Amino acid sequence: MNLDFEGLAQRLKVVLGKTKDPYDTFDYLLDLQLKYKFKSIYFFLLADYGHNDKNIPVTSKKFQSLVKSMADYTQVGIHPSWASNTNSEKLAKEIKRLETITKREVTRSRQHFLKLDLPTTYRRLIDLGIKEDYTMGYASQVGFRAGTSLPFYFYDLDMETQTQLLLHPFAVMDGTLNEYLELPVDDAQYLVKELMDSVKKVNGTFISLWHNETVSDNRHWHDWKQVYEFTIEQAFK
The answer to the question of residue 7 being in a domain is no
Q: What's the length of the chain?
A: 237
* pLDDT for res 1: 55
DSSP letters for 27-77: HHHHHHHHHHT---EEEE--PPPBTTB-PPPTT-HHHHHHHHHHHHHSEEE
190-235 pLDDT per residue, tens: 999 999 999 999 999 999 999 999 999 998 999 999 999 999 999 9
The answer to the question of residue 141 being in a domain is yes
* pLDDT for res 237: 83
The answer to the question of residue 5 being in a domain is no
- Tell me the mean pLDDT in the region 3-16: 65
Number of structural domains the chain divides into: 1
The answer to the question of residue 101 being in a domain is yes
The answer to the question of residue 12 being in a domain is no
The answer to the question of residue 120 being in a domain is yes
44-60 pLDDT per residue, tens: 999 999 999 999 999 99
The answer to the question of residue 161 being in a domain is yes
* pLDDT for res 21: 81
* Apex 130 CA angle, 26 and 87, nearest 5: 95
Count Cβ atoms within 10 A of the Cβ of residue 25 and give its class: 0-12 exposed, 13-18 middle, 19 or more buried.
Answer: buried
137-189 pLDDT per residue, tens: 999 999 999 999 999 999 999 999 999 999 999 999 999 999 999 999 999 99
Residue 117 maps to which CATH number? 3.20.20.370
CB 140 within 8 A of CB 180: yes
CB neighbours of residue 142 within 10 Å: 20
The residues with which 109 forms a beta bridge, in sequence order, are: 78, 133
The whole domain housing 50 covers: 24-235
* pLDDT for res 20: 77
SS3 of 210-229: CCHHHHHCCHHHCCCHHHHH
The answer to the question of residue 41 being in a domain is yes
pLDDT band at 87 (very low <50, low <70, confident <90, very high): very high
